[in-house]
C-alpha cells in the first residue's frame, strides 16, 4: 500500500457575488473592518460593508514589502480593527495575510486574479530585495468569496499570465514528493479547466463561462499549492522575483514550460504551445533579465534558455533531475 497523508483546509469558499461581502463579514463577526483594496472595486466594497468599515488601505504591493505592511499595521491599531477584507489580486491578499500573521485578525478575501494565494498558509514577504517565504496556519484566510464578474475587468495579458501562475500550482502538485490521491484529483481538474479556459479568455475576455472556469481552476490549483510542497519552479520564481523585482505572474508564465522540460515532465511541449499562444512574455529577457544577471544563479543553464527564449530540445531524465531538485532545495517550503 502507498502511504500518504492529506488534511482538508479549513477555509470557507463561496462562489457568489461581492454583494455577499457584508453577510460574510457578519458571519465572521466583524464589526470594524480594514478594507485592503485598490480604487477599482474599493468604493463598491466600502459601500457594501457600510458601518462595518473602519478604515481603508489602497497601497498593497507585489511581493508584500514589509514597509507597506508596517504602514497598514498602524491603521489597524489606530482604528481598533477586528478583521481584514481584501478585494484584489495576490498583492492585496498578501498584505491581508501579512497583517494576520502579526495580529491574528480574521480575513475575508475577494480575489480578482487567479493567483490562488487566498487558499494558502504560505506568505512571501520582501525586505531589502530579498523574498522570504514561510508557512503558518495564522495566515490562511477564514473566508474566500469569489465573484466572477470582478475578473471581467482583468486585462487579457494579466489574465493569461495569472492563469499560467495558477496552472503552475497544479503542475508542480503533480510531481510533488508529498502528492496524494486528493491533490492528484484537484490538480488534474485544475489543469483541465485552466488549459481550456485561458485561450477562450484571450479570444473573448467577456466570456463569463470561460472566466468562471478559470476561477474554479484557480481555486483548485490554489488548494494544491497549500496541500503539497512546491518544487523547482516555485523556488526559482520566488528567488528571481525577490532578487530582481520581477512581476510574479509573468515570471511564472515564462518559466513554467522551461522547468517542465528541464524536469522531463511529459506535457512540457503542450505547455510551451499553450504559452506561445497567449499574449504574455515568452522569455526572461522580455522581463529585463540578461545572461549576466543569471550567471552564478542556481539552474543557470535552464535560466539561460529562459532568458533567451530558446526551447530546450532534449529534456534530461526525470529521475536524475528530480533527485537534483530535491537535493538543491531540500527543506524549502
Question: Contact residues for ligand NAD (CB under 6 A)?
Answer: 38, 40, 62-64, 88-92, 94, 112-113, 115-117, 120, 122-124, 150-151, 153-154, 158, 162, 225, 248-249
Q: Which is nearer to ligand NAD, 107 or 112 (CB)?
A: 112
Q: Which is nearer to ligand NAD, 25 or 168 (CB)?
A: 168
Q: How far is the CB of 157 from ligand NAD (least distance, A)?
A: 10
Reduced 3-state DSSP string for the chain: CCCCCCCCCCCEEEECCHHHHHHHHHHCCCCCEEEEECHHHHHHHHHHHHHHEEEEECCCCCCCEHHHHHHHHHHHHHCCCCEEEEEECHHHHHHHHHHHHHHCCCEEEEECCCCCHHHCCEEEEEECCEEEEEECHHHCCCEEEECHHHHCCCCHHHHHHHHHHHHHHHHHHHCCCCCCHHHHHHHHHHHHHHHHHHHHHHHCCCCHHHHHHHHHHHHHHHHHHHHCCCCHHHHHHHHHHHHHCCCHHHHHHHHHHHHHHHCCCCCHHHHHHHHHCCCCCCCCHHHCCCHHHHCCCCCHHHHHHHHHCCCCCCCCCHHHHHHHHHHHCCCCC
Q: Which is nearer to ligand NAD, 88 or 231 (CB)?
A: 88
Q: How far is the CB of 291 from ligand NAD (least distance, A)?
A: 25
Q: Which is nearer to ligand NAD, 153 or 277 (CB)?
A: 153
Q: How far is the CB of 88 from ligand NAD (least distance, A)?
A: 6
Q: How far is the CB of 143 from ligand NAD (least distance, A)?
A: 16
Q: How far is the CB of 38 from ligand NAD (least distance, A)?
A: 5
Q: How far is the CB of 170 from ligand NAD (least distance, A)?
A: 13
Q: Which is nearer to ligand NAD, 82 or 142 (CB)?
A: 142
Amino acid at each position: 500500500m502507498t502511504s500518504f497523508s492529506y488534511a482538508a483546509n479549513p477555509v470557507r469558499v463561496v462562489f457568489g457575488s461581492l454583494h455577499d461581502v457584508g453577510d460574510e463579514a457578519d458571519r465572521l463577526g466583524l464589526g470594524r473592518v480594514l478594507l485592503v483594496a485598490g480604487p477599482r472595486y474599493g468604493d463598491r466594497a466600502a459601500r457594501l460593508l457600510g458601518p462595518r468599515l473602519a478604515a481603508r488601505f489602497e497601497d498593497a504591493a507585489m511581493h508584500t514589502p514589509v514597509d507597506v505592511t508596517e504602514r497598514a499595521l498602524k491603521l489597524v491599531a489606530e482604528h481598533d480593527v477586528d478583521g481584514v477584507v481584501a478585494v484584489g489580486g495576490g498583492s492585496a491578499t498578501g498584505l491581508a495575510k501579512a497583517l494576520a500573521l502579526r495580529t491574528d485578525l480574521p480575513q475575508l478575501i475577494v480575489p480578482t486574479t487567479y493567483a490562488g494565494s487566498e487558499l494558502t498558509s504560505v506568505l512571501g514577504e520582501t525586505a531589502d530585495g530579498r523574498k522570504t517565504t514561510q508557512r503558518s496556519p495564522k495566515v490562511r484566510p477564514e473566508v474566500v468569496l469569489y465573484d466572477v464578474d470582478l475578473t471581467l475587468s482583468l486585462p487579457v495579458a494579466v489574465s493569461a499570465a495569472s492563469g499560467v501562475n495558477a496552472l503552475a500550482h497544479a503542475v508542480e502538485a503533480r510531481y510533488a514528493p508529498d502528492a496524494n490521491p486528493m491533490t492528484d484529483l484537484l490538480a488534474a481538474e485544475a489543469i483541465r479547466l485552466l488549459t481550456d479556459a485561458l485561450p477562450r479568455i484571450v479570444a473573448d475576455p467577456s466570456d463569463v463561462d470561460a472566466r468562471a472556469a478559470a476561477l474554479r481552476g484557480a481555486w483548485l490549483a490554489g488548494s494544491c499549492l497549500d496541500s503539497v510542497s512546491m518544487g523547482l519552479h516555485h523556488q526559482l520564481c520566488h528567488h528571481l522575483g525577490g532578487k530582481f523585482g520581477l512581476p510574479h505572474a509573468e515570471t511564472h508564465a515564462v518559466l513554467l514550460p522551461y522547468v517542465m522540460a528541464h524536469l522531463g515532465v511529459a506535457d512540457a511541449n503542450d505547455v510551451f504551445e499553450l504559452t506561445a499562444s497567449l499574449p504574455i512574455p515568452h522569455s526572461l529577457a522580455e522581463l529585463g533579465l540578461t545572461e549576466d544577471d543569471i550567471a552564478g544563479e542556481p539552474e543557470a543553464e535552464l535560466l539561460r534558455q529562459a532568458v533567451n527564449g530558446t526551447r530546450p530540445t532534449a529534456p534530461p531524465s526525470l529521475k536524475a533531475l528530480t533527485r537534483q531538485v530535491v537535493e538543491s532545495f531540500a527543506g524549502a517550503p
